[in-house]
Amino acid sequence: MSTEPGDGTGPLQARPGSDLGRRVAQRREELGLTREEAAARASMDPGYLEYVESQAGVVSMEALTAMADALETTVSTLLGAGTEQLLGRGPLALRPTLEELPPAECREKLAHGGVGRVVFSAPGGPEAVPVNFRLVGDAIVFRTAAGGVLAGAVGSVVAFEVDRIDEARSEGWSILVRGVAEPVTEPEERQHLSETADPHSWAGGERHTWVRIPLGRITGRRIRSGL
C-alpha cells in the first residue's frame, strides 16, 4: 500500500522524537506488532527500526517504503502529508470496484482500535462525535465525560463508523456498526478496561464514563483500484 511522495527520492532526516518516528511507532502499535515483528515484515534489523522511532538520523526512501509496506500504510501517511486537508480530493481511480467486507474482516480491522465516530439522535438533530475506541470482545468501548453530549446517547440505538483512505491510490474502506450504547457500570469491569483497553482519549479532560456498543449489526465496504 506504500507510495512515494512526489518531491523526490532522496534520504529524509529524522529528528529525535520526530513526527516520523512517532507515526511509525504509533502505526506499529495500532497493528499490535512488536518491534521485532514489524522489522521482520520490512526485512530490516529491529535495531534500525528502533533507531528510526527514537533517534536522529537519515532515513532512505527505500527503508521508508519498506516500513510503509510492513505497517500496511503509505509513505505519505508516515510523513504526515495532508494532515490539515480533507481527504478524498485525489483523482478517480481507473476501473474502481466496490465490494462488501465480510463481518470477520470488519472485526479484524476494528481490532486495531483508533478513532471512529459515534452517530446518534440529539434534541437538535443528528450528531456525529469522534472518539478514541478499542474493540473488547464483541463490543466497541470508549470513554466520555459524565454529562457530556455522548453520555446523553447512552441507552439509545447509535451507529459507529470508522474508515481509512489511501489518497494516493483513491482506495479506502469503511465500517458501520449499529447497536445500543450501554453504560459500563460494574467497578471490576471498569477497572479491567482502564488497565487493559484504555483508548486514551485525545480530547483529554475527565472522562470516567465508559460506554459499550455491542456489534449488533456490522457492515463494511471497500473501494479498490483497478490499477
- Rounded Cα distance, 207 and 199, in Å: 11
Using CA atoms, how far residue 192 sits from 184, 186, 195, 196, 197, in Å, is 11, 10, 5, 6, 8
H or E element that contains 164: strand 157-166
**To 10 degrees, the CA torsion angle through 106, 29, 151, 191?**
110
Position 135 scores a pLDDT of: 92
Lowest-confidence range among 48-57, 162-171, 207-216?
Answer: 162-171
Single-letter code of the amino acid located at 125: G
What's the grid cell of residue 144?
Answer: 466520555
How many CA atoms, within 13 angstroms, populate the side-chain half-sphere of residue 77?
Answer: 22
Q: How many CB atoms lie within 10 A of CB 167?
A: 19
- Rounded Cα distance, 169 and 71, in Å: 17
What confidence category does residue 168 fall into, taking pLDDT thresholds of 50, 70 and 90? low
| pLDDT, tens only, 60-87 | 778 888 898 899 888 777 877 655 555 5
- In order of their start, the domains of the chain are 12-78 (1.10.260.40), 97-224 (2.30.110.10)
Nearest to 88 by CA among 2, 186, 19, 167: 167
